Amino acid sequence: MSKTLEKALSLLDYFTEEKPYWRLDEISKHSGIPKATAFRLLRGFAEMGYLQRMTFQQDGLVVDGESYGLGLKFLEMGERVAARFEIRRVALPFMKKLQETFNEAVQLVIRDQHEGVYIEKVESTRPVRLYTKVGRHAPLYAGACTRTLLSFLPDEMVQEVLKAPLTIYASQTPKSKEEVLTLIEQTRKEGFAYSDSELEEGTVSIAVPIYDRFGAVPYSISIAGFSTSLPRDKVHHIVGALWEAAAGISKEIGCSQPYPYGEKIETKQ
């Protein structure tokens, strides 16, 4: 880590429950950082929303100078982190049921900027298993799980993601922006994505969207295996169960609208 970044981040550690507000002179003295440097760092954090500037008054007079406290950006980030862990707890029972039904791997993916991150997985009991593991990153344009996340982004965000060159990972990785856009349109229409040999040769995935309380799609859930066990003509035997699981998860994380696929599946109260 660079010394400048380390120095800047060290200032944030001073904001505790016991002392949530600090004046510039106080934090400079306690941290040993020169006042001018501390001022520049604190103002920078404030401009980005990580800190907020405030004054304390008594009888209309300022009594404590300008102080800093943690900003709303940390609240937003805390909610994102909490949601990331909560979705795993909520989704796991649905994932286990899918695995028991089909004996294929079941995966949960979250969008992180221009990538998807695998955050939960229930393994198949078959002797040969998929390589994918929790923590793996993958591009949004390749693979059913991640392309499902891309498919339900606003069009301008899709275009932003597709500005970068496409990397070819396997024989069926989409090779052009136009090909990805065609697949996105198909996913939006059909309510699922199917991939075969896009990220790893011979591996197949069928994925559907999970909706949050805002109607966005921050997560996807998939059943994954190999071309021999999950051919394209077997999708209709599986996708209904995936929709039902995704509808149940969506409801539990606050989505109040009927799930839009599978004849608008309604989950039990």
The hierarchical CATH code for the domain 3-70 is 1.10.10.10
- Delimiting residues of CATH 1.10.10.10 domain(s) in the chain: 3-70
- Delimiting residues of CATH 3.30.450.40 domain(s) in the chain: 80-252
pLDDT at 269 over 50: no
Q: Render pLDDT for 31-52 as a digit per residue (tens, 0 to 9).
A: 999 999 999 998 899 999 999 8
DSSP assignment letter at 232? G
pTM of the model: 0.69
| Per-chain mean pLDDT for the chain | 88
Do residues 159 and 141 make contact, with C-beta atoms less than 8 angstroms apart?
no
Q: List, in order, residues 6 or more apart from 33 with CB less than 8 Å away.
A: 7, 11, 27, 41
pLDDT tier at 78, thresholds 50, 70, 90:
confident
Task: Record the tokens describing residue 33, joined without a space.
Answer: 């950082």
Find the angle CA(235)-CA(241)-CA(246) to the nearest 5 degrees: 110
Cα distances (angstroms) measured from residue 110 to each of 131, 202, 211, 221, 228: 18, 23, 11, 9, 27
Overall CATH class of domain 80-252: alpha beta
Q: Over the Cα atoms of the chain, what is R_g?
A: 24
**What are the DSSP calls for 46-66, one per residue?**
HHTTSEEEEEEEETTEEEEEE
Task: Record the tokens describing residue 211, joined without a space.
Answer: 């909706």
DSSP assignment letter at 221? E
